[in-house]
Chains A and B, each alone.
Chain A
Amino acid sequence: DIQLTQSPSFQSASVGERVTITCRASQDITSNLAWYQQQPGKVPKLLIYAASTLQSGVPSRFTGSGSGTEFTLTISSLQPEDFASYYCQQLDSYPWTFGQGTKVDVK
Chain B
Amino acid sequence: EVQLVESGGGLVQPGGSLRLSCAASGFTVSTNYMSWVRQAPGKGLEWVSVIYSGGGTYYADSVRGRFSISRHNSRNTLFLQMNSLRAEDTAVYYCARDSFLRGLARGMDVWGQGATVIVSS
Known: A43-B94, A43-B113, A94-B50. A49 touches B45 (CB 8 A): no
In the complex, are the beta carbons of B107 and A91 less than 8 A apart? yes
Q: Does A59 contact B (CB under 8 A)?
A: no
B35 contacts chain A at the CB level, 8 A cutoff: yes
Taking residues whose C-beta sits less than 8 angstroms from the other chain, chain A's interface range is 20 to 34
* CB atoms of A87 and B44 under 8 A apart: yes
Instruction: For the complex, give the distance between the alpha carbons of A96 and B107 in Å.
Output: 10
Q: Is the CB of A32 within 8 A of B47?
A: no
In the complex with contacts A49-B99, A95-B58, A95-B60, A44-B107 CB distance below 8 A: no
- Judged by DSSP, the binding face of B is strand
Asked whether A32 lies within 8 Å of B44 as measured between CB atoms, the reply is no
Residues on A with beta carbons closer than 8 Å to the beta carbon of B105: 32, 49, 91
* Contact among B35, B109, B113, B114 with A96 in the assembled complex (CB-CB below 8 Å): B35
- Whether the pair A32, B46 counts as a contact (CB closer than 8 A) is no
Distance (whole angstroms) from the CB of A32 to the closest CB of chain B: 6
Complex CA–CA separation, A95 to B63 (angstroms): 12
A105 → B minimal CB distance (Å): 14
A87 and B45 contacting across the interface, CB-CB below 8 Å: yes
Interface residues in A1-57 (C-beta closer than 8 Å to B): 1, 32, 34, 36, 38, 43-46, 48-50, 53, 55
Q: Does B75 belong to the interface (CB within 8 Å)?
A: no
A residues 48-107 in Cβ contact with B at 8 Å: 48-50, 53, 55, 85, 87, 89, 91, 94-101
Q: Contact check, B44 vs A98: say whether CB atoms are below 8 A apart.
A: yes
Min distance, Cβ B33 to any Cβ of chain A, angstroms: 10
Closest Cβ neighbor of B112 among chain A residues: A43
Report whether B107 and A101 are in contact in the complex, using a CB–CB cutoff of 8 Å: no
Which of A43, A48, A100 is in CB contact (< 8 Å) with B44?
A: A100
> Do A101 and B45 touch across chains, with their CB atoms under 8 A apart?
yes
Residues of B within 8 A of A99 (CB): 44
- Among the listed A34, A43, A50, which residue makes an inter-chain contact with B111, where contact means beta carbons less than 8 Å apart? A43
Q: With the chains together, A75 CA to B7 CA distance in Å?
A: 35
**Residues in chain A within 8 A of chain B (CB atoms):** 1, 32, 34, 36, 38, 43-46, 48-50, 53, 55, 85, 87, 89, 91, 94-101
